[in-house]
Amino acid sequence: MFNFQGVSMHRWNSLFGALVLVMLSSIGAPASALAQQYDLLIRGGRLIDPKNGIDGLRDIAINQGKVARVAEHMPDSEAKRVVDASGLIVTPGLIDIHAHVFYGADAGAYLSGGTSAVAPDGFTFRVGVTTVVDVGGAGWRNFEQFKTQVIDHSQTRVLSMLNIVGSGMKGAALEQDLADMNAELTAKCARQYPGLIVGVKVAHYAGPEWDPVDRAVEAGRIAGVPIMIDFGGHTPPLSLQDLLLQHLRPGDIFTHVYAHVRGRIPIVDDQDQVCPYAFEARKRGVIFDVGHGGGSFLFRQAIPALRQGFPPDTISTDLHTGSMNAGMKDMLNVMSKFLNLGMALPEIIEKSTWKPAQVIHRIDLGHLSEGAPADLAIFRVREGSFGFVDTAPGKMLGKMKLECELTLREGKVAWDTNGISYPRWEDVPPRN
């Protein structure tokens, strides 16, 4: 018996048999080619598509990279390839609006062409993410480098929020340079790439001035895009109330919502109460984003906030080499935390698909309407005993975990954990 890493093929077969409910392909199917009007049919899954108000069993047909039809039942014979999603969750491809993917080998360049950022394709599809927004890696000076180096070479849909600092997120002194924060030039660059540059980012500024925030808002106003702010690092801290109620506009994004870091007032005070102006800001339309990261997600903040009716608007990772190897790990791990904190799955999916699409003004994404790009993910909810680590770091125990089975990017299989989209090897014709 052939052995692979100590596991017999027989064992693998039975393991796959148990994991993969049904696996079908059109190979050997009796239907005529003419009847096969769709490239792919995903059938029998629980479709959660918040934009369209769908949470129920649906079949989805895909043709030429787009969603062709969503219906309660379509015959297998209409498709060239069939994926059985029985017992699984089918959703729009996830949109992570806080990631750092401007990777490169520039010495000391941190998240702007440096080694702390990650290559998107290595970390997205395996967890159902089809779109990431790099927030602040590039500024107007080096966006072209980011585009040619990363965006144009990635299968993942990579969007950008330009740093208000012209040279981007290169760390240390460069991010403190007020002279390199130019609203007009930032907006000009953003307007050259509508839909690709979807916002302006402010981060890491430690001085006592409001200029970086206000210049980012000005750039956002000129370019017609939201800004995202990573607030903090000020000594003494600047007023969070002023930021949320006076400086940010409706639609602007406050990331790291459940952080408690030196130099920033947390949204949950030391009496475990969510500050009233956070509710007021939400009413004004300010968006509260998770941005978990390596130091910005505390259960001590998130749990009281959720109990008091202050969930995040959008769920995101703040993906970089530090966070992915610590408590954050990946998008599904962050979503699983909210699942175990009692948030309903459809709500978690909405905050990871349709809501972020709206926040970045890309309403063509984040849903599976007929005609939409077939960016899609299939998940399983695993039950068992799991541990989830925050950035304190401390651990929360949980009983559920989301796992990705399959990811499609514009109709193409970009990830398939257990081969549910493939025929059995015995049914593949020999090469000759």
Binding site for Zn ion (CB under 5 A): 318
| 30 in Cβ contact with 76 (< 8 Å) | no
Angle between helices 183-192 and 211-223 (to 10 degrees): 30
Angle at 152 between CA 150 and CA 153, to 5 degrees: 65
Residue at shortest CB range from Zn ion: 318
Least Cβ distance, residue 372 to Zn ion (angstroms)? 28
Angstrom distance (rounded) from CA 269 to CA 201: 26
Of residues 318 and 330, the one with the C-beta less far from Zn ion: 318
Of residues 257 and 345, the one with the C-beta less far from Zn ion: 257
| 138 in Cβ contact with 162 (< 8 Å) | yes
Residues in Cβ contact with 242 at an 8 Å cutoff, skipping those fewer than 6 apart: none
What is the 8-class DSSP label of residue 430?
Answer: P
Angle at 154 between CA 134 and CA 360, to 5 degrees: 35
Of residues 42 and 334, the one with the C-beta less far from Zn ion: 334
Of residues 318 and 350, the one with the C-beta less far from Zn ion: 318
**Hey, is 394 helix, strand or coil?**
coil
Least Cβ distance, residue 289 to Zn ion (angstroms)? 10
Of residues 89 and 315, the one with the C-beta less far from Zn ion: 315
Of residues 59 and 318, the one with the C-beta less far from Zn ion: 318
Q: What does each C-alpha distance from 94 to 5, 98, 334, 351 come to in angstroms?
A: 33, 12, 12, 9
Which tokens sit at 428? 């593949």
Least Cβ distance, residue 80 to Zn ion (angstroms)? 41
